[in-house]
Structure 1
Amino acid sequence: MVQQLSTAPTESPAAHPPPRGSRSTPVLLLKILLLAVVLSTVISLTPALVAAERWGFLVFFWALVLLVVAVYATRRAIPLKYLLPGSILLFSFVVYPVISTFQVSLTNLGDGTRSTQEQAVTQILGASVVQTPDAPRYNLTVGTTGSATDGPFAFLLVDPATGEASVGTEDGLEPLDDATVTEGFVTAADGYTLLTPAEVNAASAALAEVTVPTEGGAIRQLGIRQAFEGSTPLVYDEDSETITNTSTGVSYTPTLQGDREYFVSADGQRLSDQSWAADVGFANYVRAFTDGRILSDFLGIFGWTLVFATLSVATTFALGTVLAIVLNDRRVRGQKVYRSVLLLPYAIPSFISLLLWSGFWNTDFGLINDLTGLSVNWFGGATTAKVAVILTNLWLGFPYMFLVVTGALQAIPEDLKEAAGIDGASGFMGFRKITFPLLLIPTAPLLVASFAFNFNNFNTIFLLTGGGPFTPENPTAGGTDLLISYTIRLAFGASGAQFGFASAIAVLLFVITGVVAALQFRLTRRLEDVL
């Protein structure tokens, strides 16, 4: 009897893969864990956002978390699983900062205008509080819910007559039932960190502005361990937004002076130099284009900024290309060693290199003058300072271009070069007609990005020349100032911080850089015809 052999194919174990759930269980658990972390984070933030009345952020975070759960909790919307993270990062780090900067540019926010009008009124009334002979006094302990230097501060008070403890803030006076009182002073209170006498003395400037409003006036600090309740002749009417001095009968109303509002009397006298943050519309932009001093310097510096960015890109790309072509030849020995040496300027932190180069350009003991035998005061004149800046930036930038061009050269097929040689093209002709056009296709976007970077290259100017040299006639605009360094000096100079004006200039720089980059990208599209 002949045994028949089965001809049916033998099924391998791979034909029956394990159930899908067995392999996806760890991934599913990780997904659930991550979604739980995201959801719990938003839930924990909700009370703080509600207390701060940040309704816009509250709606945004909840809409975001619901979108994340809807996308990643199901097997649908596969493209969104990849697009959502990038979109969130784009909005968080690009779109939102631009929107916030534009919003600030429509205000007069800066030194002296960081508070609201209500806070300014409280400070003005508090500063006018005077101590009378029969003014009540309290034993004072200063507490804080933040830092010991910046606050916010609270007055932990004990009435010597009754021994009752209370806490005073800018919102008023409230009983303090859970405090520990020792020898007539608060020595412990839940939620507050008590300042030592040395810390109180160090924060004296900030504490001098702290006032606790009361029915009869306000409580202010009197020494390190005492406070008094004084009275003020000023009365604020919320309906008319008017402060009246009851002693003189003079009324003060909010009046716009420059880009700030002050309480001013009918004859033009200010009650106080205290102002507050307010919306000023496009006043900061109008100032940038109508202030003769700013506009004249702005145009000249804008021209130099274009020259600096263009030359920085052109010189670094030219030198990087030459070195990359030379070291891309297989006949050159020790290519790895040479390439490693050429990358050293890129490996050293730029701020260290800039500080070193600042010494190299020194007139008396600088390396440049010693090697060349010259005695040029490089930073003494605008022209020589600009040459020094361009050469220093060339040193910093060419290794990056060398890396980029080396990678692009190795991606060009050798067949094209050989075909050009067979057709009788010289080495230079082959480079100009074939290699260089093909080289520009992948590097053109990087050149545009490099131009945008150098257009706002604050570090090079600040660490190398500080924007100088300056002239006695114009100490604000220097010979090597870029737009970014010039506007920072305007916005944060001797007149104090002007965040609103600085934000307006930042928006203008963003628009200018975007327009120039868009034009450059449009020009680089012509390179597509090479293919």
Structure 2
Amino acid sequence: MTTQLGGPAVTRAHPAPDKSSAPRSRDTSTAAQLVKITLLGLVVAIAIWAAFPLVENQAWIGLAILVATTGALLYLYLSPRHIPAKYLAPGTLLLIAFQVFPVLYTASTAFTNYGDGHRGSKQEAIVAIQTASVTQVPGSIEYALSVATTGDPATGPLVFLVTDPATKAVSAGDAHGLKRLDAADVTVTSTGKVTAADGYTVLTAGQASLRSKEITALAVPVEGGAIRSIGLSRAYEGKAGRVYVAGCDCIRDAKTGKAWVADGKTGSFVAGDGDRLAQGWKVNVGFSNFTRVVTDEDISGPFLRTLIWNFVFAIGSTGGTFLLGMFVAVALHSQKVRGRNLYRVLLVLPYAMPAFAMLLVWRDMFNKDFGLINNFFGISVDWLGQPMTARIAVLLVQLWLGYPYMFLVTTGALQAIPSELSEASRIDGAGAWQSFRRIVLPLLMVALTPLLISSFAFNFNNFNAIYLTTEGGPFQPDNPANGATDLLITYTYRLAFGGSGAQYGYAAAISIFIFLIVGTISAIAFRRTRAQEEVYA
């Protein structure tokens, strides 16, 4: 370039382009494209994998959501537009999958009778009742039996391969019914026993014997009865002792004539005398799971006691650990303390150890006969056998496990408070306690209140602390489902997975109660925290 500024011409040369940057940019772009294509291919592969069970179960709504989501992701990341959405989409999907969907599913379950005996549809309940009442009667057809599976021989779903003695036809049967197999796909001995079948793994005698209980329990429903096993090599087609009669919408006992009429409100078959068959079906029960907590005397009393103890435990655990942690942090904050770093390391040790292991250790330490605490102090206290001492024990364990966390966060907060504030208060004549109460503590509370709220929410649902220490006990003889140290979360767990029978609908309703309680308290506390921040800002 040449310019003339009233003097000799000046030639300015443009800087030579950096030729090395172009290949590097192309390499980066190519690598990014490969990564994007790989990730999108993985998304499509997962979608195809998930589509098969949805189609098999005829879950068309779920399939439509899967297709729409996959299509939207492909459009979003293959298009150069919508840059902000590209960053928001992964987090949004994970939020929906792991937060929103579980909450909505729990809420929907709370309005049903879902649980043991009420898991499937009415038709499935009828089939289960009829097959459970099957007995072998004179003239029952007997089949040559081979036990097979469509999966792993030790854990896969069981299938009966039976050969009809009259037609020599081979069928495969499971809990859903009987299916005829093509003769070309099976190998049958002269006695009618199937030794091989396409798509099935025939179990050996040893493999079948290991699953004998499952084989005995399996009933293949057929018209008017079911096929059950006689040992491992024979099966019979029995007749159902209880059959469904469509005219009365009831189950009728063939021997006694007793009838159990379908009750659509409770999802059960109920007789005139109030007798109820164990097998029912899933129905919507409205707010009955919620009202049980208030109206059922056998539930309302234990529930209220558990709720009160739950608050005591959460407040005691949070408050106790905070006070002890703050006291230790303030004591070690002074520059006059020698070896502060060593003390801090030693005090944090409980926090560095696995909590579940420490809970088990503490449980043994509280043992009445050989526990360290009783032996050390020369006493004989049944710590975990009495309601009051068991509650004291779990609070002490929580104090030991939780104070290091509060010590750490309080130490950090103290270091953020300017020392000039305390010095100015002392110049004005304030003592150490007045300076701490009027200056240090309010500033600490502004910084630590959100952590205290989260700690309260955590302790309100601290399942491990109770279940690994006392398992919710001790229990009263008249109420083995609700113990003295049970929190609502352990009580819910026992309802959902206890040996007396799962009540998922009722457990989900209690989970909603827990959510509302913790959410309400947290909202109020955070509002007060904002007010504090405005005062001390």
Give the equivalent residue in structure 2 for 1:227.
235
Cα 1:496/1:242, change in 2 over 3 Å: closer
Cα 1:295/1:26, change in 2 over 3 Å: same
Cα 1:276/1:304, change in 2 over 3 Å: same
Offset of residue 432 of structure 1: 3.1
* SS of corresponding position for 1:467: coil
Moved more, 147-156 or 22-31: 147-156
Match for 1:434 among 435, 439, 445?
439
Map 1:160-179 → 2, pairs under 5 A: 160-169=165-174, 170-177=176-183, 178-179=185-186
AA aligned to 2:366 is W
Distance (Å, rounded) in 1 between the aligned partners of 2:435 and 2:378: 41
2:48 paired with 1:43: yes
Q: Is the 8 A contact 1:420 1:430 kept in 2?
A: yes
Q: Give the TM-score taking structure 1 as reference length.
A: 0.87
Offset of residue 504 of structure 1: 1.5
Q: Is the 8 A contact 1:173 1:213 kept in 2?
A: no
Q: Is the 8 A contact 1:142 1:155 kept in 2?
A: yes
Give the equivalent residue in structure 2 for 1:262.
269
AA aligned to 1:84 is A
2:406 paired with 1:401: yes
Give the equivalent residue in structure 1 for 2:188.
181
Distance (Å, rounded) in 1 between the aligned partners of 2:478 and 2:245: 48
Cα 1:113/1:474, change in 2 over 3 Å: closer
Offset of residue 456 of structure 1: 1.4
AA aligned to 2:461 is N
Distance (Å, rounded) in 2 between the aligned partners of 1:475 and 1:503: 20
Q: Is the 8 A contact 2:495 2:504 kept in 1?
A: no
2:133 paired with 1:125: no
Q: Is the 8 A contact 1:167 1:175 kept in 2?
A: yes
Offset of residue 59 of structure 1: 2.7
Cα 1:474/1:413, change in 2 over 3 Å: same
Match for 1:495 among 497, 500, 512?
500
AA aligned to 2:232 is I
Offset of residue 10 of structure 1: 7.8
Cα 1:346/1:7, change in 2 over 3 Å: farther
Give the equivalent residue in structure 2 for 1:253.
261
Give the equivalent residue in structure 2 for 1:82.
87
Cα 1:151/1:503, change in 2 over 3 Å: farther
Offset of residue 182 of structure 1: 3.6
Q: Which runs of 5+ in 2 are unaligned?
A: 1-7
Cα 1:268/1:480, change in 2 over 3 Å: closer
Q: Is the 8 A contact 1:244 1:250 kept in 2?
A: yes
Give the equivalent residue in structure 1 for 2:5.
none
Cα 1:359/1:40, change in 2 over 3 Å: closer
Cα 1:286/1:373, change in 2 over 3 Å: same
Match for 1:31 among 23, 32, 36?
36
Map 1:33-432 → 2, pairs under 5 A: 33-146=38-151, 152-169=157-174, 170-177=176-183, 178-183=185-190, 184-214=192-222, 217-232=225-240, 236-237=244-245, 241-243=249-251, 252-255=260-263, 259-262=266-269, 264=271, 273-420=278-425, 425-432=430-437
Deviations, residues 385-417 of structure 1 (Å, cap 9, x unaligned): 322221211100011112222222333344545
Offset of residue 502 of structure 1: 1.5
Offset of residue 194 of structure 1: 2.3
Offset of residue 421 of structure 1: 5.2
Cα 1:461/1:32, change in 2 over 3 Å: same
AA aligned to 2:384 is F
Distance (Å, rounded) in 2 between the aligned partners of 1:239 and 1:35: 55
Cα 1:192/1:381, change in 2 over 3 Å: same
Match for 1:455 among 448, 460, 464?
460
Q: Is the 8 A contact 1:150 1:206 kept in 2?
A: no
* SS of corresponding position for 1:172: strand
Q: Give the TM-score taking structure 2 as reference length.
A: 0.86
Identical pairs, percent: 45
Cα 1:407/1:98, change in 2 over 3 Å: same
